[in-house]
Amino acid sequence: MYEELTKILKESDNIVFFGGAGVSTESDIPDFRSEQGLYNAQQTYGMSPEQMISHSFFLRDTETFFDYYKNNMVYPEAQPNPAHVALAKLEEMGKLKAVVTQNIDGLHQKAGSKTVYEVHGSVLRNLCMDCGAFYDLDYVMDPANCDGHVPKCSKCGGIVKPDVVLYEEALDEDQINGAVRAISAADTLIIGGTSLVVYPAAGFVNYFRGKHLVLINKSSTSMDHNAEVVIHDPIGQVLEEAVRNM
CA proximity to 100, closest of 30, 26, 20, 25: 20
Same domain, 98 and 42: no
Same domain, 195 and 115: yes
Contact 22, 234 (CB under 8 A): no
Mean pLDDT of all residues in 171-187: 96
Same domain, 100 and 217: yes
> What pLDDT score was predicted for residue 156?
98
How many domains is the chain partitioned into structurally? 3
Which residue, 45, 74, 103, sits at the end of a domain? Answer: 74
84 noted as active-site residue: no
Mean pLDDT of all residues in 200-224: 89
Choice among 120, 149, 212, 232 that is catalytic: 120
Distance separating alpha carbons of residues 103 and 26, to the nearest angstrom: 13
- Residue 203 — pLDDT band, cuts 50, 70, 90? confident
Same domain, 157 and 178: no
Q: DSSP code of 226?
A: G
Query: What's the distance, Cα to Cα, between the start and end of the chain in Å?
Result: 14
- Residue 35 — pLDDT band, cuts 50, 70, 90? low
- Average pLDDT of the chain, as a whole number: 94
> What pLDDT score was predicted for residue 237?
96
> What pLDDT score was predicted for residue 185?
98
pTM of the model: 0.93
Beta bridge partners of 231: 216
Question: β-strand 96-101 against 15-19: which pairing, if any?
Answer: parallel
Model pLDDT for residues 122-153, shown as the tens digit of each residue: 999 999 999 999 999 999 999 999 999 999 99
> What pLDDT score was predicted for residue 38?
67
Same domain, 227 and 176: yes
Same domain, 47 and 102: no
Distance separating alpha carbons of residues 156 and 82, to the nearest angstrom: 42
> What pLDDT score was predicted for residue 197?
77
Distance of CA 133 to the CA centre of its chain: 24
Which residue, 135, 164, 193, sits at the end of a domain? Answer: 164
Calculate what percentage of the chain has a pLDDT beyond 70: 97
Same domain, 137 and 36: no
Output the domain CATH number for residue 206.
Answer: 3.40.50.1220
Which residue, 47, 74, 101, sits at the end of a domain? Answer: 74
Same domain, 59 and 15: no
Contact 236, 83 (CB under 8 A): yes
Model pLDDT for residues 59-95, shown as the tens digit of each residue: 999 999 999 999 989 999 999 999 999 999 999 999 9
> What pLDDT score was predicted for residue 190?
97
- Residue 221 — pLDDT band, cuts 50, 70, 90? confident
Same domain, 206 and 152: no
> What pLDDT score was predicted for residue 201?
67
Residues of the domain holding 101? 2-28+80-120+170-244
- Residue 30 — pLDDT band, cuts 50, 70, 90? confident
> What pLDDT score was predicted for residue 41?
82
